[in-house]
Structure 1
């Protein structure tokens, strides 16, 4: 049976996915996501050996600009979250969706989620609640 509601609380480098029923009295933490590359300083990202474009002798690629590489990592994380929401919908794991994320990430997610997932989105909050204790989230994210 599908959970009535999924709540995604995220920022550019971490996210938590909760599930609850219609009454929303108890939020079950279902999954946590971490994308440490999004938290790294831009210069650290440029010096990573796994960056195929770092140190190119040709014109600099956008991901080699100081802040662009960090934004690229945040975009990758947003794509990961959007894909997870799509899988959940395909698995009939939720009927309704709430997202709480800072404005930049929320905007990315809105662009990346499919029309089907977007149809399940009942609320979104432009805020970073990742440092709020889990037990306080229902007070910060009212579902009714």
Structure 2
């Protein structure tokens, strides 16, 4: 698609990926993502000890700190989304990118995306629009 634009609307547990062209008249939902672990209560997360990436030699195990385990899951989801954006760029699926996410998660995403993806980023917004009806998103996210 010539001059294709992707719009990622995300928070720490859900995301929607839209595609449009330079006129942005119609947004097509390409993919939806869910990261259930980010939504789990701390007591349930703390019971999951089979995580090979939990903790390091220099830091306490996240299983022992409820908030730290949630942060780990948020990072995992940000990494998953960043990898999807990288694949899309490798497949020439988009030329420009817009991301809307709450400030903390937007910061995580920005750290995870590659330099190549970052160069395609034309706008990032600090807002959680995941639950906004799709028909209202074009009004909230300015593309021109």
Same fold (TM over 0.5): yes
- Structure 1: how far apart are the matches of 2:76 and 2:39? 13
Task: Report 1:84-123 matches (<5 A).
Answer: 84-123=84-123
- Structure 2: how far apart are the matches of 1:116 and 1:51? 30
What is residue 128 of structure 1 aligned with on the other side? Answer: 128
What is residue 38 of structure 1 aligned with on the other side? Answer: 38
For residue 66 of structure 2, give the secondary structure of its aligned residue in structure 1.
coil
Does the C-alpha gap of structure 1 residues 80 and 52 become closer, same or farther in structure 2, counting only changes over 3 Å? Answer: closer
What is residue 78 of structure 2 aligned with on the other side? Answer: 78
Taking only aligned residues, the RMSD between alpha carbons, in angstroms, comes to: 1.8
Does the C-alpha gap of structure 1 residues 21 and 51 become closer, same or farther in structure 2, counting only changes over 3 Å? Answer: same
Answer yes or no: is the 8 Å Cα contact 1:11–1:102 preserved in 2.
yes
Does the C-alpha gap of structure 1 residues 117 and 52 become closer, same or farther in structure 2, counting only changes over 3 Å? Answer: closer
1:35-57 CA-partner distances (Å, limit 9, x unpaired): 00001111210113534699xxx
TM-score w.r.t. length of structure 2: 0.91
For structure 2, which runs of at least 5 residues remain unmatched after alignment?
none
For structure 1, which runs of at least 5 residues remain unmatched after alignment?
none
TM-score w.r.t. length of structure 1: 0.91
In the TM superposition, residue 30 of structure 1 has moved relative to its aligned partner by 0.2
